[in-house]
Amino acid sequence: MQWPEFKAQFFGTDFASGRATLALAELWQQATHGTFDSVSKLSRHHATSNRLQLHYSYWQPESATAALVLIPGRIEAGHKYLELINEALLAGYQVYVLDHQGQGASERLDSQSQIGDVRDFDDYVADLANFIQQIIKPKTNLPLLALAHSMGGGILCRYLQQERQQEMQQQPHHGVAAAIFCSPMWGIPTHPLPHALALPLSRVVSQLNQRCSQQSWYIPGQGPYQDRPFANNDLSQCVERYQWFRSLYQQFPAYQLGGISWRWLAQALTACQQMQKGPAPQLPCLLLQAGADQVVDNAAQTKLWQRFSQSSDWPTALSAQHLLADARHEILFETDEIRVLALSKINQFLQKLPVTGS
């Protein structure tokens, strides 16, 4: 099997005219939706100790020759990825997408709050592992490609590192064949706070928060969800796709998520530190970096990639790194020109991969 290649199907004018919106709404209706248990339980202040219910969606066209798992970034619902899902389905993929705990249609630690919070970053990683092992693998034996954005890229990196550690210990692993990282969260800008101070401070304030209050505290300058205007946004230069995303979150207000807690920051910074020390995944990887990214740390991406490249078992010839100089953080929600370029880099990566049996 040759890995299916992606081709852009909609352009900014299709979103402006409403054609893309109608087609993607119909595609969402065609999905199969389900839930499964997170490793995380509801808030310690909740009356029950039930585990959070995680929402997922999938599409299984009969003609598919490969499978794709999408791993969204922070605040994102899988629903937001319909444009890419449509392209993947037409290319020949089955598609599976998970809403992380606290996001999209999945349950939150505090159902009454819009704060971005997590008890342990490894809970995200364990949820992804269970999604692949318990939901995806029983439904398909097709080779699995993983594509992750931002925080999802951090989750996927830790998942692959933990999987590699299991391989070293001759334990079974879950079988991702190749990975694509788009603007991955392998480091977080902490200005104006010095980076060396950010982790210990966030840990101390997080511990104080848990002792003093039943509600998680936002970090300074952040609060509940805001429907931010397109002007001066850090995510995308495509006004049509940006407005489509904001309209989707107005249509589905349960998706709305605000800023982060001190605990989330402490956990995310700890995870980034672990990534920089963890083993290189032993599978082909593609890194797409956004040159105008103001959300994650490109220098940390490059540092980790260079360390992976120096690993003796890193598949250097099959892996690739590309900087999209003009792109903002959300590469796959960018202008038509940037999206087409990103898809071409993905296709170049896929063309190099060995033919795989289905």
Phi–psi pair at 286, nearest 5 degrees: -120, 130
Over residues 192-218, mean pLDDT: 93
The predicted structure's pLDDT at residue 287: 99
The predicted structure's pLDDT at residue 310: 95
The enclosing H or E element of 267 equals helix 262-277
Fold of 12-352: Rossmann fold (3.40.50)
The neighbour count for residue 13, using CB atoms within 10 Å, is 11
How is 159-213 classified by DSSP, letter by letter?
HHHHHHHHHHTT-----EEEEEEES--SS---TTS-HHHHHHHHHHHHHHHHHH-
Question: Which comes out higher in pLDDT, residue 355 or 44?
Answer: 355
The enclosing H or E element of 94 equals strand 93-98
- What torsion do the CA atoms of 323, 156, 258, 14 make, to the nearest 10 degrees? 60
pLDDT tens digits, 160-185: 999 988 876 666 566 899 999 999 99
* Domain layout of the chain by residue ranges: 12-352
Separation in Å, CA 206 to CA 196, 212, 303, 353: 17, 10, 28, 44
pTM of the model: 0.96
**Cα dihedral 140, 145, 149, 153 sign:** positive
Over residues 243-256, mean pLDDT: 98
- Report d(CA 266, CA 76) in Å as an integer: 20
Question: Which comes out higher in pLDDT, residue 44 or 100?
Answer: 100
pLDDT at 356 exceeding the cut of 70? no
The enclosing H or E element of 146 equals strand 144-149
Please give the mean pLDDT across all residues of the chain.
94
Over residues 92-117, mean pLDDT: 95
Separation in Å, CA 205 to CA 112, 115, 219, 268, 273: 22, 16, 9, 14, 19
Contact indicator for 308, 276 with CB cutoff of 8 Å: no
pLDDT at 89 exceeding the cut of 70? yes
Over residues 292-319, mean pLDDT: 96
- Report d(CA 268, CA 116) in Å as an integer: 11
Supply the DSSP symbol for 135: I
pLDDT at 47 exceeding the cut of 70? no
- Report d(CA 88, CA 64) in Å as an integer: 10
The predicted structure's pLDDT at residue 195: 86
